[in-house]
Structure 1
Amino acid sequence: MSSAHVTPGSVPGPKLAAHFASLEVQKHAARLGMWLFLATEILLFAGLFACYAAYRFLFPEAWAASSRSLDLTMGTINTVVLITSSFTAAMAVHYAKEGKNKMVGHMNVLTLLMAVGFLVIKFFEYKHKFHIGTLPGRYYFYEGIQLPGAPMYFSVYFASTALHALHVVIGMTVLAFATVRAYRVGDFSANNYTQVELGSMYWHLVDLVWIFLFPMLYLV
């Protein structure tokens, strides 16, 4: 069933696992599990942020010069794209609660399109850096910035943005599953929207991490 609005009782509700006392407890456990998972993801990026802070303190001039070599326009566009995609992901949860499955699918499709746009822009950024030689570590050969610490800046840049891009792809996969379910099964409703909610939570993490990366890398 894939109608725009699902009438309560017209589709089967969520299944209760045997080890949960009720659906409410099951939903709470799912949310708690996602929050704990997101906390571990934040710890993962926190290690990179700590490296960033340490090397920025050691090489402030190289950090400032390297940051100015980045394409601020592309970085800004990507920031706007991700913030907008978080809005559409949140709207998918809103429509899921109302049982409007087609709108859930539409919102997720918009989110996925913006995610693709983000990755395409990042691809062109990477391509330019490979061309001019602003690469990590011993692969750095850019003549425009010959300061101690510049190769380390781009090591941190590529490590953090590539890891973030991987999370974008993972988030797209999660949202794609919810999108297919919304269109084909159409069973999201006020009592059954956990999958959409958890996918949206993960996508907000992707957005949040970039909100930190953008000023750290592009605006220092």
Structure 2
Amino acid sequence: MSPVGDDTALLPHDEAYDERAFGFWLYLMSDAIIFALLFATYQIMAGDIAGGPQGSDLFSLPHTFGETLLLLTSSLTFGLASLALDAGNRRRVLAWLGVTFVLGLGFLAMEIHEFHGMITRGAGPDRSGFLSAFFTLVSTHGLHVSAGLVFILVMTVQVVVKGLSRPVSSRLERLGLFWHFLDIVWIGIFSVVYLPGILR
């Protein structure tokens, strides 16, 4: 008899992994809906500056480009980790996961620095509808990046302890989906929030 709540215990391994992958795709779709709503809210609130600063006063294209470069490069390095996973090379998987973590951490540090600079200038989320929508959208993405970094650390430990077993490989594949999804969302933020804000 299967443990309580474990509906996959009686399934063949491949079918169980397929179910987990399907469940993760459902999670990503629900996350995409959340971000779509946040993008829509930002678009509605973007012009509501309430006499305060607007994007052109606050955003720095070189800074944002640096963030974008870090995150897109981290997507490339995770792709290299996936290739190493396919080749069964545990050492390279660990190396590329480490590089991906450092790049993601750098992105997060730049984002926190940007938020701190805006808040110290009196442009916090309570200043206007525009800033409230901006901080909500961008910080939600930042929280996801933070979760991704924790996920990378957990998977690094699992690769060290358990090697590239089927369960570990399956989790790494789902982590890859999550990380690449965050890159896609960031491209949307860069295109919808920062570029129009700077050019406005």
Smaller-chain TM-score bracket: 0.7 to 0.9
2:185 to 186, 196, 209: 209
1:128 to 109, 117, 123: 117
Equivalent-residue separation in structure 1 for 2:168 and 2:118 (angstroms): 46
Structure 2 gap segments, 5+ residues each: 1-7
Shift of 1:82: 0.6
1:112 to 79, 87, 101: 101
Query: For 1:193, what is the secondary structure of its paired residue?
Result: helix
Shift of 1:68: 1.2
**1:18 matches 2:9:** yes
Structure 1 gap segments, 5+ residues each: 1-16, 141-150
Shift of 1:24: 2.1
CA shift in 2, pair 1:199/1:90, >3 Å: same
Q: Could you say what the CA RMSD is over the residues aligned between the two structures, in angstroms?
A: 2.1
Aligned residue type for 1:158 = F
Alignment of structure 1 residues 3-152 onto 2, 5 Å: 18-20=9-11, 22-56=12-46, 59=47, 66-69=54-57, 70-137=59-126, 140=127, 151-152=128-129
Equivalent-residue separation in structure 1 for 2:168 and 2:149 (angstroms): 21
Shift of 1:179: 1.1
Q: What is aligned with 1:219?
A: 195
Residues 99, 188 of structure 1: 8 Å contact kept: no
Bigger relative contact order, structure 1 or 2 (CA pairs below 8 A, ≥6 apart): 1
Equivalent-residue separation in structure 2 for 1:104 and 1:178 (angstroms): 10
Equivalent-residue separation in structure 2 for 1:200 and 1:182 (angstroms): 15
After superposition, what is the alpha-carbon deviation per residue over 1:157-197, rounded to whole angstroms, capped at 9, x for unaligned? 111111111101111111111111222332346x9621110
Residues 102, 183 of structure 1: 8 Å contact kept: no
CA shift in 2, pair 1:55/1:187, >3 Å: closer
**1:155 matches 2:145:** no
Percent identity, aligned pairs only, is 26
Q: What is aligned with 2:171?
A: 195
Q: Which structure features the higher share of helix residues? A: 2
Residues 97, 192 of structure 1: 8 Å contact kept: no
178-187 or 69-78: bigger deviation: 178-187
Which of the two has higher C-alpha Rg? 1
Residues 148, 175 of structure 2: 8 Å contact kept: yes
TM-score of the superposed pair, with normalisation by structure 2 = 0.86
How many pairs align? 187
Q: What is aligned with 1:10?
A: none
After superposition, what is the alpha-carbon deviation per residue over 1:96-127, rounded to whole angstroms, capped at 9, x for unaligned? 12211111111111110011100111121112
Aligned residue type for 1:84 = T
Query: For 2:94, what is the secondary structure of its paired residue?
Result: helix
Shift of 1:78: 0.6
Query: For 1:18, what is the secondary structure of its paired residue?
Result: coil
